[in-house]
Amino acid sequence: MDSGVLIESFAEFASSKNIDRPTMISVLEEVFRTMIRKKYGTDDNFDVIINPESGDLEMWRTREIVDDNSEDIWDYNKIPLAEARKIQNDFEVGEEVAEEVKLVEFGRRLVQTARQTLIQKIKDMEKEIMYEKYKDQVGEMISGEVYQTLRHEVIIMDSEGNELSLPRTEQISKDRFRKGESVKAVIHKVDMNNGSPKITLSRTSPVFLERLFEVEIPEIYDGIISVRRVVREPGERAKVAVESYDDRIDPVGACVGMKGSRIHSIVRELGNENIDVINYTENLELLISRALSPAKVSSMQIDRDSKRVSVFLKPDQVSLAIGKGGQNIKLAGKLVGMEIDVFRDIEEHNDEDVDLSEFSDEIEDWMIAELHKIGLDTAKSVLALNKEELVRRTDLEEEAVEEILDILRKEFE
C-alpha cells in the first residue's frame, strides 16, 4: 500500500469533519506506531514523521552501535558495528545510527492491519463527532431528507449524510413520508448505544411546535414575543401561551397574522392541527378562562393546594369547554398545570332537576365524579345524553352507564 494514498484519504476525511490538524496527526502516528510495535516489539527508538498535506510518511529507527562480539547485538535498540558501517563506513562503537524504515519492510499483512486500524479509527472518530455535534443540539429543529421508511421508524439523512431516526411514536398520526421528501423535526434525544450514536427526532414534541413558531413569527425570533407554554395533542389540537414584551404589540394577533396568514403554514406542517394561541398572564384565574377558550366561563373556584379548579359555565358553553373527545379541557388543564372540573352554572338549574350528589346512596362516588368531569352535575343533564355518548365521553363501562340511566329515569317517573 502507498502510504501517501492512505494519509491523503484520512486527511480529506479529517478536513470534511473539521478535525483539527494536531488530532489528525496524532491518530495517524498512533496507527503507524502500533504497526512498529507489532514488528519490533517496541517503538521507543522510532520517530514517525507525517506530512498530511503532501502525504509523505517517514519512519526513522535510531540504534546504538555496539562491538560485533558484544552480547547486546540481539537487542532491538543496538546495531553491530559491521552492520552500521554498511550504512556509513566511518561509524564507531558508541555512536547512534538513524536509518529510515520503509513501509514495504513491514510486509503486506502488517500494512493491511494498519489500514484496517485506520479505517476503524476513522469510523470511531466519525461516531464521536456525530454524537458531540448532536448532543448539544437537543431541542433544535432540523431539516433532512427521507432515506428509508421502515415499519417502526423513518430514517432521515442530514446534510452531512448522517442517519437520524424518526420513530413511529414521534410521528404525527397523519404523517406519510416518501423517499427523497424533505422533513422537519426537532432533535428529541441523543444516546450512545454500543459505541454508536442514536439520534432520535420528534414531530410530536411541544418543542417542535415552539420551534416552528420561532421560524414563522419574526417577533418571536427577534425576542419581542416569548412562547411561555406549549401543550399538544399531536395532529389534533394544541394550545400556545405567548407574551409580548412590547405593550404596543398584540402577541396573539402577531402570531396568528392577518386572516391566519402567519399560523397557516404551521398548521399545514402539523397535518392541520388546530392551534389556539392564548395571551399569557400571571393571573391564574384569567389564564384558566383564556385556556378554556372558546368557552366563556361564568365563575370558578381554585384550590391551589390540590391543584384543582372547579369551573362553572352556562349549559351551552359546557360542550365547548370540554371539546371533542375532551381535548379542550385536557389541554387547558396541562397549560395551567391544574385539574379542571367543569360544572353547569347552578343558576341555570331547573327547579325540577336533581343534583347528582343526591344519588350517592345508589351511584358510586367515582361514577358521579366521572360525570362531573364532562360537565354533568344534575340528573336531567345526564338523561339529555344517550348511552353511546356517555360511554364515549367518560371512562364508564356500558353496563355502568345503563345502570345509572335506569336509576335517574326512575326519579322522574
Q: Looking at the structure, do residues 16 and 102 belong to the same domain, yes or no?
A: yes
Total tally of structural domains belonging to the chain: 3
User: For 331, what's the count of Cα atoms within 13 Å in the CB-facing half-sphere?
Assistant: 32
183 beta partners: 144
DSSP codes, 244-282: ESSTTS-HHHHHH-GGGHHHHHHHHHTTS-EEEEEE--S
Q: Looking at the structure, do residues 186 and 236 belong to the same domain, yes or no?
A: no
Q: Looking at the structure, do residues 146 and 121 belong to the same domain, yes or no?
A: no
Q: Looking at the structure, do residues 99 and 38 belong to the same domain, yes or no?
A: yes
Domain that holds residue 155: 137-203
Q: Looking at the structure, do residues 47 and 158 belong to the same domain, yes or no?
A: no
CATH number for the domain that contains residue 68: 3.30.1480
Reported pTM: 0.66
∠ CA 280-281-286, nearest 5°, is 105
So what's the pLDDT on residue 28?
81
Q: Would residue 256 count as lying in a domain?
A: yes
Q: Looking at the structure, do residues 54 and 163 belong to the same domain, yes or no?
A: no
Residue 353 C-alpha from the chain's centroid: 52
Q: Looking at the structure, do residues 194 and 210 belong to the same domain, yes or no?
A: no
Tens digit of each residue's pLDDT, the chain (413 residues): 556 666 766 666 666 666 677 777 888 888 888 888 888 888 888 988 887 666 677 888 888 888 888 877 777 778 888 888 888 888 888 888 888 888 777 777 877 777 777 778 777 888 888 898 899 899 999 999 999 999 899 999 998 888 999 999 999 988 999 999 999 999 999 998 888 899 999 999 999 999 999 999 999 999 999 999 999 999 999 999 999 999 899 999 999 988 888 899 999 999 999 999 999 999 999 999 999 988 899 889 999 899 999 999 888 788 888 888 888 999 999 999 999 988 877 554 445 778 888 888 888 888 888 888 887 888 888 888 888 888 888 888 899 899 999 988 888 77
Q: For residue range 196-254, what is the model confidence (pLDDT) as tens digits?
A: 899 999 999 999 999 999 999 999 999 999 999 999 999 999 999 999 999 899 999 99
CATH number for the domain that contains residue 163: 2.40.50.140
Q: Looking at the structure, do residues 209 and 256 belong to the same domain, yes or no?
A: yes
Cβ atoms < 10 Å from Cβ of 297: 22
Q: Looking at the structure, do residues 129 and 239 belong to the same domain, yes or no?
A: no
Q: What is the DSSP letter of 169?
A: G
Q: Would residue 322 count as lying in a domain?
A: no
CATH number for the domain that contains residue 266: 3.30.300.20
* Domain end call among 172, 203, 234: 203
Q: Looking at the structure, do residues 189 and 212 belong to the same domain, yes or no?
A: no
Q: Looking at the structure, do residues 94 and 186 belong to the same domain, yes or no?
A: no
Q: For residue range 391-402, what is the model confidence (pLDDT) as tens digits?
A: 888 888 899 899
Q: Would residue 54 count as lying in a domain?
A: yes
Q: Report how far residue 247's alpha carbon sits from residue 239's, in angstroms, rounded to the nearest whole number.
A: 22
Q: Would residue 331 count as lying in a domain?
A: no
Q: Would residue 340 count as lying in a domain?
A: no
So what's the pLDDT on residue 226?
95
Strand ranges inside 194-335, DSSP E: 196-202, 225-233, 237-244, 274-279, 299-303, 308-313
Cis before 294 (ω within 30): yes
Q: Would residue 211 count as lying in a domain?
A: yes
Q: Which residue has the cell 364508564?
A: 396
Q: Would residue 77 count as lying in a domain?
A: yes
Identify the H or E element spanning 33: helix 21-40
